[in-house]
Chain A
Amino acid sequence: MLQVSSSPHIRDSATTQRLMLDVVIALIPAILASTWIFGWRVLLVTALTTGTAVLFEYLSRRVMKRYNSIGDMSALVTGLLLAMNLPPTIPLWMPVVGSFIAIIIVKQLFGGIGQNFMNPALAARVILMLSFPAAMTRWAILAERARSATAVVADQTGRLDLIATATPLYIMQNQGDMPTYLDMFIGIKGGCIGEVSVLALLVGAIYLIVRKVINLWIPLTYIGTVAVITALAGQDPLYHVLSAGLIIGAFFMATDYVTAPVTRNGQIIFALGCGIITALIRLFGAMTEGVSFAILLMNLLTPHIEKWTRPVPFGGRKYVKG
């Protein structure tokens, strides 16, 4: 029996699973760095989010009588990204709620991989943040890593080896003592698990770029826009770039395939929008952080941006009916 199929008869080696695995690999440096900065609890939170994300993916597919999709590793990536967006001091039941929101509500109820209209991990983070603002903004780093600028707020965790701190953006808005550029680059500062070490994130980002999993259009446009606007507003753009979730947002969240436009021009407009909203929230908003909201808002615009930026077919002229 001869196999009959439509051309082409050869395929590239890239698979969804391999792309997802690359993202997992790219996030490992950030997790290791975070563990060094915040302690073992980072691993616990990460294990919780990834474990429950995969479990929820499996259970929901089972209940909906659809094929088992945990093999594509997208649930694992969502779980990892969710951990990246949580503070290391978070009560341990919250990551489970976060996974539920990300996997069940945002992803599977809309049809699973490729169908969600916003980034599942970010949506979960924002819902958690609006629901439990105190727990979601309690920052603390290992005492032995803390340097002068970090000990601002009283220790609320009750743990002796942790020193509570604030995020650089909070410090900046309240005219506190800012950590040095180097500390911010390495990650000696308050923040979510995944956002603190710019160095570790960039190592992962370079891996993704070398592996051609992501391209530079979205991250560079996004970061550039934030830098330009904050500089125009008279603030230190470098602090803004190194602060909070911009690096992880630009390289790992805004580049999410499903929720960003597929067209090149669309990606640039999308990233511009993310940059503008992030900068505006940081400059004028009540919240210190704008990356999550900016990306989620632009996620919602993605279908429209894609429509506006449809490429002109080769041969230029408009297609004539009939």
Chain B
Amino acid sequence: MLRFGHFSGGVHPKGNKNTHFYPTVRLDDFKEIHIPMSMHIGPPCTPVVKVGDLVKVGQLLGEASGPMAVPIHSSVSGKVTAIRKEVSSAGRSVEVVLIESDGQYTRDESVVPPVVTDKESFLQALRDSGLVGLGGAGFPTHMKLRIPEGKTAEFLVINAAECEPYITADFRQCAEHPDEIIEGVMLVMQYLDIPKALIGVEDNKPLAAEVLKNELTKLELRQNLKPDITVHLLKTLYPQGAEKMLVYSLTGREIPSGKLPIDVGAVVLNVSTVRFIAKYLKTGMPLVRKRLTLDGSGLTMPCNVNVPIGAMIPDVIAHAGGNAAEAGKIIMGGSMMGVAMDRPEASIIKHNNAILVFDKKEAEIPQETQCIRCGRCVEACPMHLMPTMLDIGSRNKDVEQLEEYHVLDCIECGCCTYVCPAKRYLVQSIRAGKGYVRQAQAKAKEGTK
């Protein structure tokens, strides 16, 4: 039987959903954009345009190589001014296509609705659309939806939890496009033959659940359609939106260590991902724009924006009253799991859902002190690990202890560090610990060869 409970552990950071009621603003005023050729897990794309070429919105810029890659398209119309290596927001050196925008946003002729008749053509269309999971990990969606032989998908779990503080982009997606969200859910259910869909929303966003339920009622009244889609309010508890926690809260099933949702019969998609699927099948416009939340103490006008992928972060935050030069910290993503950037000059990528700008004061890092063994990290860990023991193991580079305490199960949600009264840098230390274990494992593997 299905159970609607919640996982144990987790924390209650201040929501800071300041942008909740601000409708998304479309930003088009960008002179130059930088489109990285790698915005997904998997090998980077090969540019198919040359310097001087004129490109239009939706035109193919980078050809995908291999099954784990997805193509990359132009988000503006204009002229390719350079193709060069740049350091990406993730700190890697990637090839970037620079385009000088003509401000016209002329649509490319190749943008036509794809012909989708069955599962294969559906997955092919998703690949061609350049879609990656929009929740944050950047995993190509067509690969995620390729259900391995011998496994069955019983549930489609739609992640609208949005448990990260500050971020409201998914909420705005629900509020502004509930029809396309439900449509997307039905498409995935139809082509992948998944009998049931569960949409999980944290209970601090009852409006999102309400509008989605309304859509379902409308479908029933107007078209007499009754898809098996249910909307569930989940306890507002970080990290409710983490894949393993969400599946557990909605289905009562625990994804085993090192396994995927499909191992317990679940397929998890972000709410923005399914909405994109619906839109793409109707218009054929690939993934070239992204909705994201701009917030933080370094911005005077927090807001939700819809920007072309490849827009430079300083230009984007300027719209929200931010100044990259005066910022204390710029975070790509949320305040709990986002990445602090070492310099603002990077582009908005496909799976960006927020840019947070902290002023100098908020950016200050607390002084680390000795662990007082209060056990708060152990209580808070949604994966039921012992962060304090992992911290000790990592600092001693004690691979045995790290493995004994299951370091590789850590999802780096940040709960332990958030609650620590001694302000220990637990996630940082545990991440290093994972590295030691992986190194040791690689070494052991080599030894057995």
Contact = CB atoms under 8 A, between A and B. Distances in A.
Given A9-B336, A315-B256, A2 B329 contact: yes
Interface in A1-17: 2-12, 14-16
Given A16-B369, A263-B378, A3 B329 contact: yes
B340 A4 contact: yes
Contact of B408 (A12, A15, A319): A319
B414 A7 contact: yes
By DSSP majority rule, is chain B's interface helix, strand, loop, or mixed?
loop
Interface stretch (B77-85, B118-126, B181-189, B418-426): B418-426
Given A8-B427, A16-B422, A319-B403, A314 B409 contact: yes
Contacts of B369: 16, 72, 113
B408 A8 contact: no
A6 B427 contact: yes
A8 B337 contact: yes
A314 B381 CA distance: 10
Interface residues of A, number: 42
Given A2-B344, A16-B372, A262-B386, A11 B405 contact: no
A13 B350 CA distance: 34
B375 A3 contact: no
Which one of A5, A10, A257, A263 has the highest number of Cβ atoms from chain B below 10 Å of its Cβ?
A10
B384 A312 contact: yes
A310 B257 contact: no
Contact of B382 (A3, A74, A262, A314): A314
Contacts of A319: 257, 403, 406, 408-409
Interface string B416-446: 0111111101011001000000000100110
Interface string A260-271: 011110010000
Contact of A315 (B255, B356, B405): B255
Contacts of A317: 256-257
A115 interface: yes
Given A16-B372, A16-B421, A115-B370, A315 B337 contact: no
A263 B370 contact: no
B386 A310 contact: yes
B370 A316 contact: no
Interface residues of B, number: 72
Nearest to A258: B373
Nearest to A312: B384
Which one of B248, B385, B418 has the highest number of Cβ atoms from chain A below 10 Å of its Cβ?
B418
Contacts of B147: none
Interface in A128-159: none
Interface of A: 2-12, 14-16, 18-19, 72, 74, 111-115, 257-258, 261-264, 267, 310-317, 319-322
Interface of B: 7, 11, 13-14, 165, 244, 248, 254-259, 327-331, 335-344, 356, 358, 360, 363-366, 369-376, 378-379, 382-386, 388, 403, 405-406, 408-409, 412, 414, 417-423, 425, 427-428, 431, 441, 444-445
30 contacts: A2-B341, A2-B342, A2-B344, A3-B360, A6-B340, A6-B417, A8-B427, A9-B336, A10-B14, A10-B418, A11-B366, A11-B423, A14-B376, A15-B423, A18-B421, A19-B372, A114-B370, A114-B372, A114-B422, A115-B370, A263-B386, A264-B379, A311-B384, A312-B384, A313-B406, A314-B383, A315-B255, A315-B258, A315-B259, A319-B408
